[in-house]
A and B are shown apart, each in its own frame.
Chain A
Amino acid sequence: MNFKQMTKTSRDNLGTIAMLVVAFAVVQALRAGGFVNSHMDGMLVPLCVYATMAVSLNLVVGILGELSLGHAGFMCVGAFSSAFFSKCFEQSMGTFPRFLIAILIGGLVAGVLGFLIGIPVLRLNGDYLAIVTLAFGEIIKNLVNVLYVGRDAAGLHISMRDQAALGLAEDGEMIINGPQGITGTPFNSTFTVGFVILLVSTIVVLNLVNSREGRAIMSIRDNRIAAGSLGIPVTRYKMFAFTLSAVIAGCAGALYAHNLSSLIATPARFGYNMSILFLVFVVLGGIGSTRGAIIAAIILTLLPEVLRFMADYRMLIYAVVLIVMMIVNWNPKSRAFIKAHSPKKWFGRGKEDR
């Protein structure tokens, strides 16, 4: 099949993947050429984490059409479960297989939790679902904060009270130390690993959207009653999309955890502000557009670094930008204006998009 015969969606998807690969190649070339300072270099893994989170949340908000405000919670679970695994098997396994399994465990644990939370949550719609996911996100973060896990010759000790309650032997080792979290997780996350996770998540979501499953999920978004009347198992597909989204968020969390010397479940890292930030990526990228969400995530993660002198006003800028985008995106007059002045017209492609 040549390029012209492909449908518009397949071309768009290929464009998104090409964009990611080119961006990766450019950054790698710049790094090899010594054009990237150490501060920017340190931003590369978080960039991949946030872009992956944007892909994950876009699946729920943009494609399934349900507002989830608890995605930082899934990332948190992925981060802690994978870091826990890495700490336990740091000595006994080689780096590559251990990190690979850690990422999979992060995704799996977040996915199981996403499934369990999905059972009650997905019975709700709209605002109610948003509020409940927000609460679950906070509950996850707070539960992780009171979790104490230690290990000694006798095995694992788990408590939710304090360190002393573990009754650890003399030679015992703390793995998760309550509000101090996990320290000493091996630094395994590299830009390449982050890029691969982002690329795989993107391909999975794009391929899924452009298939029988994806159409069923989008039909629920567009009209739940009509979807049911056509025999689409509505609840099953809602669970499927929500769980897959949690899996991707868990993998992003694993990547995040292996980039930090001390992993703490602080509100700044896994609180609802983070969940809102991911939502901002999705909204600014144009709800439902995976490519847009990735671009928005990259721009909004880099922007505060570029505008470091006004970092205090960052959240204020986000709020203002979000409101402005909402008005511009949904106001009929501005929509008509954008449509009339679309750059696509210059290339004679405007007609295809009607």
Chain B
Amino acid sequence: MALLEINNLSIQFGGLRAVDDFNLTVEQGELYGLIGPNGAGKTTVFNLLTGEYKPTEGVILLDGKDITGKSAIEINRAGVARTFQNIRLFKQQSVLDNVKIGLHNRYPYSAVSAVLRLPSYYATEKQMNEKAMELLHVFDLDGEANTLSSNLPYGKQRKLEIARAMATEPKLLLLDEPAAGMNPNETEELMEDIRYIRENFGMTILLIEHDMRLVSGICEKLTVLNFGRILTQGETKEVLADPEVIKAYLGDE
């Protein structure tokens, strides 16, 4: 059974069908890319997947369970975590606290034990700190754990968003343009990190990206979206060689 199965997904905004009859199957452990020109509806697919938007039609199955139309909170608990194209960190909080917010549902203790500083508070906070530092270490951010997150350089902010999403222990990780604004070196590091988390955390990853070096470097399969509809999907090499795809990206002759 596929980890993620999307059937006939559509959403209509007034007269505009932003996503039309979208189908996708992502197997456990796959690294899947979603590409397409600007305005093709890629981020809209992510917003539908994470409950930001409710689909007009279609079904989304995660691990066989129907998550169509559920709230963002329920979908996260079902096992989907994401990053955002326009970075959405908790800017007034430290790097460490950003990750600890991701750990919120995994390490519970009551408000009473927080207010009275009971032993369960100290014990759980300690576990949270350790777990958060572990995740920050993966992305080489552990040196900046106490920095205010808005003071991180841009590339590291993107990495912190991934670490924070990973903290919710998702089955499926959605990355919305993780390499946007990164220089070639940073992109190279990011590719390493994505490979690392897939191998060591058994993560299934669906990502949107414009950087073709990253897409062809790490994605095994691709779906190309144009004007809200699927242009083509399949193995990365075949898709990138497709003349239709080249036309959509570079235009007609």
Contact = CB atoms under 8 A, between A and B. Distances in A.
Contacts of B116: 207
Nearest to A214: B114
A342 to B, nearest CB: 15
Contact of A227 (B82, B91, B101, B147): B101
B72 A229 contact: yes
A135 to B, nearest CB: 29
Contacts of B104: 212, 215-216, 230-232
Interface stretch (B8-16, B33-41, B56-64, B73-81): B73-81
Interface stretch (B105-113, B222-230, B232-240): B105-113
Interface in B87-111: 88-93, 97, 100-102, 104-105, 107-109, 111
Interface of B: 50-52, 71-73, 76-77, 81-82, 84, 88-93, 97, 100-102, 104-105, 107-109, 111, 114-117, 121, 124-125, 128, 146-148, 151, 164-165, 167-168
27 contacts: A7-B146, A207-B114, A212-B107, A212-B108, A212-B128, A213-B114, A219-B90, A221-B92, A222-B90, A222-B91, A222-B93, A223-B88, A223-B89, A225-B52, A225-B84, A226-B89, A229-B72, A229-B82, A230-B104, A230-B164, A231-B76, A231-B104, A231-B105, A232-B101, A234-B73, A354-B147, A354-B151
B33 to A, nearest CB: 21
Contact of A226 (B51, B73, B90, B115): B90
Given A216-B101, A219-B101, A354-B151, A229 B114 contact: no
A208 interface: yes
Chain A interface SS verdict (over half):
helix
Interface of A: 7-8, 203-204, 207-208, 211-216, 218-219, 221-223, 225-234, 240, 288, 354
Contacts, number: 100
Contact of B121 (A211, A221, A228, A232): A211
B93 A219 contact: yes
B110 to A, nearest CB: 9
Contact of B84 (A204, A214, A226, A232): A226
Given A228-B71, A228-B73, A218 B111 contact: no
